[in-house]
């Protein structure tokens, strides 16, 4: 049974009760106003990994990942009824409508997730197409005494009406202070930590509601969509660590206040990803897109493998060197799988595979799983056909397309096999000059040789 760290309970435990055969999982989706960078994809790879591990255990997974295409303010911590959300800001910069911007970057996001072998969710609702669900939910919260309208057409959630607020992030209401960017407390609020469920406005992308024309707050979107598409009992809720507060705290309060009970059983968060030691941001100039990885001559799935080299809840520093190393490993594994495919098939080494699967089950210990796979790769006491079956089996979890080179021509030009053998002997004798000369000779024949810690590979 898959066990994961629950951010709310601060402990590792099973994500499903014993005997359960289905899982409902919600993932906070992208705000579609720009291209997603490789750091953004860490939380989506996390959700995909949870799904793949569960499905290998014959658990039916029903996943929902929303598309935020309205209502996400430039500064989410600042409730400004006249504020412009990120989509409209980008629309003005590019000379397009907000909807055109949202659809363009949504398509780019979906293309990138497909490239990373992230399986599509069963439900992918857009905020703009589910406004009615949000209005209905806000009305119910008002009726239950958890929200209140104001004369200007705003609706706020009454934070004090939800006494367990802060269990996910530790930010309890009695310790929260007004935001440092605000000049005093908003006079419309009963309590400074209350947040907007509906914001009055007559700008682009607004809707009629009982409280006046406006648009929804960011947090209410996920509550309304998750309850509608997954129901009032959700097994796993995933997202990046930066969403713990205020987004997931506010979402939990809204959902639980509506349902009258705890909706989410297990909150799972992926840690920050740095690039070259810094958070990815335009201001630091270190934003790396998936297309940048492809333009650098690397396989985009090297990003997925590099992410798996670290446990999901450990902060990770990605660099071009680690991406290039992941690319070399990926190509080497595919080459080996292609070679092993030409040998007689043998049963998987059951004990070795079980140890690797156990690593995945143990709070997604992907670094251990990959280390055990490298040991299996190098173990010549295991028949090539057995390693072939094991790697293909495990790739159903890894999602690295390890079988992609099977069937491709691997025939060497005449004389190349002899040169490769001579080069192996030269390297064993530490005769680097001869090794380099033989590599150059092979290159003139169209054979590229790469040296790895596990030996030379060629293509």
Alpha-carbon span 264 to 355, nearest angstrom: 30
> What pLDDT score does 158 carry?
97
One domain for residues 383 and 453: no
Alpha-carbon span 249 to 169, nearest angstrom: 7
One domain for residues 262 and 394: no
Residue 76 above 50 pLDDT? no
- 144 appears as a binding residue in the annotation: no
Whether 83 is covered by a domain: the verdict is: yes
One domain for residues 88 and 215: yes
Tens-place pLDDT, residues 88-98: 888 888 999 98
One domain for residues 205 and 316: no
One domain for residues 263 and 287: no
456 contact partners, CB below 8 Å, separation of at least 6: 420, 423, 424, 427, 449, 450
**End of a domain among 348, 365, 398?**
398
- 64 appears as a binding residue in the annotation: no
Tens-place pLDDT, residues 345-366: 999 999 999 999 999 999 999 9
One domain for residues 207 and 180: yes
One domain for residues 340 and 228: no
Tens-place pLDDT, residues 123-147: 999 999 999 999 999 999 999 999 9
User: Structurally, how many domains does the chain consist of?
Assistant: 3
One domain for residues 308 and 192: no
One domain for residues 227 and 298: no
DSSP characters over 394-411:
HHHHH---TTTTTTS--P
> What pLDDT score does 133 carry?
98
135 contact partners, CB below 8 Å, separation of at least 6: 198, 207, 209, 210, 216
State the residue for tokens 């299996």: 376
One domain for residues 394 and 438: no
Domain range enclosing 103: 3-270
Residue 419 above 50 pLDDT? yes
One domain for residues 295 and 347: yes
- 310 appears as a binding residue in the annotation: no
Whether 406 is covered by a domain: the verdict is: no
Whether 403 is covered by a domain: the verdict is: no
Whether 323 is covered by a domain: the verdict is: yes
How confident is the model over 256-261, as a mean pLDDT?
Answer: 98
Residue 409 above 70 pLDDT? no
Residue 410 above 70 pLDDT? no
Residue 405 — pLDDT band, cuts 50, 70, 90? confident
Dihedral class, residue 285 (left if φ above 0, else alpha if ψ from -120 to 50, else beta): left
State the residue for tokens 């009963």: 190
Tokens at 239, concatenated? 């997202």
- 86 appears as a binding residue in the annotation: no
5 contact partners, CB below 8 Å, separation of at least 6: 11, 12, 268, 313, 363
Tens-place pLDDT, residues 192-235: 999 999 999 888 889 999 999 999 998 999 999 999 999 999 99
Average pLDDT of every residue of the chain: 91
- 247 appears as a binding residue in the annotation: yes
Whether 448 is covered by a domain: the verdict is: yes
Alpha-carbon span 292 to 324, nearest angstrom: 13
Whether 411 is covered by a domain: the verdict is: no
**End of a domain among 270, 288, 320?**
270
One domain for residues 198 and 327: no
Residue 20 — pLDDT band, cuts 50, 70, 90? very high
**End of a domain among 218, 241, 270?**
270
Whether 405 is covered by a domain: the verdict is: no
What is the domain-level CATH number for residue 73? 3.40.50.620
């Amino acid at each position: 049974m898959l066990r994961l760290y629950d951010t709310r309970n601060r402990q590792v435990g099973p994500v499903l009760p014993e005997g359960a055969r289905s899982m409902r999982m919600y993932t906070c989706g992208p705000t579609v106003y720009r291209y997603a960078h490789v750091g953004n994809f860490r939380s989506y790879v996390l959700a995909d990994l949870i799904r793949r591990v569960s499905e290998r255990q014959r658990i039916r997974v029903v996943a929902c990942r929303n598309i935020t295409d309205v209502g996400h303010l430039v500064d989410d911590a600042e409730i400004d009824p006249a504020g412009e959300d990120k989509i409209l800001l980008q629309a003005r910069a590019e000379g397009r409508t907000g909807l055109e911007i949202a659809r363009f970057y949504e398509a780019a996001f979906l293309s990138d997730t497909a490239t990373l072998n992230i399986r599509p969710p069963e439900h992918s609702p857009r905020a703009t197409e589910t406004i009615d669900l949000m209005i209905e939910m806000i009305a119910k919260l008002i009726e239950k005494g958890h929200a209140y309208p104001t004369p200007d057409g705003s609706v706020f959630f009454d934070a004090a009406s939800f006494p367990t607020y802060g269990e996910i992030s530790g930010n309890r209401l009695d310790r929260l202070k007004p935001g440092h960017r605000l000049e005093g407390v908003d006079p419309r609020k009963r309590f400074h930590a209350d947040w907007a469920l509906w914001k009055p406005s007559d700008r682009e992308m607004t809707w009629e509601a009982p409280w006046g024309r406006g648009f929804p707050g960011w947090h209410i979107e996920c509550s309304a969509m998750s309850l509608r598409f997954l129901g009032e009992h959700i097994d796993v809720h995933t997202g990046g660590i930066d969403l713990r507060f205020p987004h997931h705290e506010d979402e939990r309060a809204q959902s639980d206040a509506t349902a009258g009970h705890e909706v989410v059983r297990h909150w799972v968060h992926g840690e920050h990803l740095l690039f070259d030691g810094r958070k990815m941001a335009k201001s630091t100039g270190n934003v790396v897109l998936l297309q940048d990885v492809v333009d650098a001559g690397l396989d985009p799935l090297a990003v997925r493998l590099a992410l798996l080299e670290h446990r999901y809840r450990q902060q990770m520093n990605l660099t071009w060197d680690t991406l290039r190393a992941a690319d070399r490993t990926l190509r080497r594994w595919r080459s080996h799988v292609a070679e092993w495919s030409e040998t007689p098939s043998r049963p998987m080494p059951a004990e070795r595979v079980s140890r690797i699967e156990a690593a995945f089950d143990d709070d997604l210990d992907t670094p251990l799983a990959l280390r055990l796979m490298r040991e299996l790769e190098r173990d010549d006491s295991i028949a090539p056909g057995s390693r072939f079956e094991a790697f293909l089996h495990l790739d159903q979890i890894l999602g690295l397309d390890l079988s992609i080179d099977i069937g491709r021509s691997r025939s060497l030009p005449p004389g190349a096999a002899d040169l490769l053998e001579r080069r192996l002997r030269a390297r064993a004798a530490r005769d680097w000059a001869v090794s380099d000369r033989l590599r150059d000779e092979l290159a003139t024949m169209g054979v590229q040789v790469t040296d790895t810690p596990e030996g030379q590979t060629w293509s």
